[in-house]
Amino acid sequence: MAILEIRQRTGWLFVAVVVGHIILISTQAKTGRGVSLLQSVIFGAFAEVQRTTTGGVTSVQHAWQDYFALQEVRRENDTLKEELAKLRIAMQRETDAAKQAETLQAMLELRQELPFKATGARVIGGAASPEFRTITIDKGTQDGVRSDMAVIAPSGVVGRVLQPTARAAKVQLLIDTDAAAGATVERSRAQGIIVGTKTGYRLDYVPSSADIQVGDRVVTSGLEGIFADATRPIDGKYPRGFVIGHIQSLQRGAGQYTQVVVKPAVEFTSLEAVLVVLTPPAIETAAEPSGTGVTRQNGGK
């Protein structure tokens, strides 16, 4: 063991002597630029260390800067989203205000054109049950509103006042299944009774020989009386000549009458304002064309 340890020490000593000689030689050897080889090697080694260190520091700085830049972008993005949401809300309000202005303008023009007295009202509620089609308006008896007064809109007939209170009134829509009105096909003057069907109208008691077509406009007749074989009367609550709708389909059968479906002119689901006719319309007494089935009733309904 002692011999082995002596040999190892001798070997290490030899290596140290060789390295020392190399270092001495390196300090004495010169490169082409007059710098010692040892200095050149040491400088190169330290340069690589500096390069690596600088690269790492720079990467960390860039990552840190990118992180803060990303946070700033996120804040700006959140701000822009908030501003966009506010702009959308503002635009919706402006659009709604514009639509309300258009509705009010149409109501004003209609009111000015009417040959009778009417008062404007806002729709403030609808029917709780879909089986009974009504709306609630913000005008009542203190505004002159009474039962059975006609309610209209710029697009056509809406219905009639059913139950007025002091400051509000319930209006039965013409599409209610219990509602009916005298009607005339504007082009041919063929007459019948408009009956509500929840989603639209049915024009009953139109003779099979009547001149009617799909697309014909149907208006109020302003007549009072009953039709032969009819189970419900018509009355003069609705002023003559107001639009009810357009014939959507018809089916001529072998019987006495034609089955006629009428599409409402009024969009009942989007009603916002209406006019209540305060002056009762004059009851029509002119003779009707033959074949209409209308008979005049004394006193009306």
User: Rounded distance, CA 182 to CA 297, Å?
Assistant: 14
User: Rounded distance, CA 230 to CA 294, Å?
Assistant: 10
pLDDT of residue 145: 93
For residue range 104-146, list pLDDT tens digits in order: 666 666 666 677 888 888 999 887 666 678 999 999 999 999 9
Residue 291 lies in a domain: no
Say which CATH number the domain at 279 has. 2.40.10.340
Q: What are phi and psi of 279, to 5 degrees?
A: -95, 120
**∠ CA(95), CA(97), CA(101), 5° rounding?**
115
Mean pLDDT of 253-268: 86
Average pLDDT value over all residues in the chain: 75
Q: Which range, of 13-17, 65-69, 237-241, averages the lowest pLDDT?
A: 13-17
DSSP β-bridge partners for residue 261: 202, 249
Higher confidence at residue 13 or residue 158? 158
Residue 98: pLDDT over 80:
no
Q: How many structural domains is the chain composed of?
A: 1
Residue 45: pLDDT over 60:
yes
User: Rounded distance, CA 161 to CA 146, Å?
Assistant: 7
How does residue 159 score in pLDDT terms, banded at 50, 70 and 90?
A: very high
CA distances, 244 to each of 18, 153, 292 (Å): 117, 11, 19
pLDDT of residue 136: 93
Residue 160: pLDDT over 60:
yes
Residue 93: pLDDT over 80:
no
Q: Residue 267 in 3-state DSSP?
A: coil
- Return the top range by mean pLDDT from 33-42, 47-56, 171-180: 171-180
Domain containing 271 equals 118-284
Residue 203 lies in a domain: yes
pLDDT of residue 260: 92
Residue 85 lies in a domain: no
pTM: 0.60
Angle between helices 37-113 and 2-28 (to 10 degrees): 80
Residue 250 lies in a domain: yes
User: Rounded distance, CA 18 to CA 13, Å?
Assistant: 9
Q: Are 218 and 174 in contact (CB under 8 A)?
A: no
User: Rounded distance, CA 165 to CA 198, Å?
Assistant: 25
How does residue 81 score in pLDDT terms, banded at 50, 70 and 90?
A: confident
Residue 24 lies in a domain: no
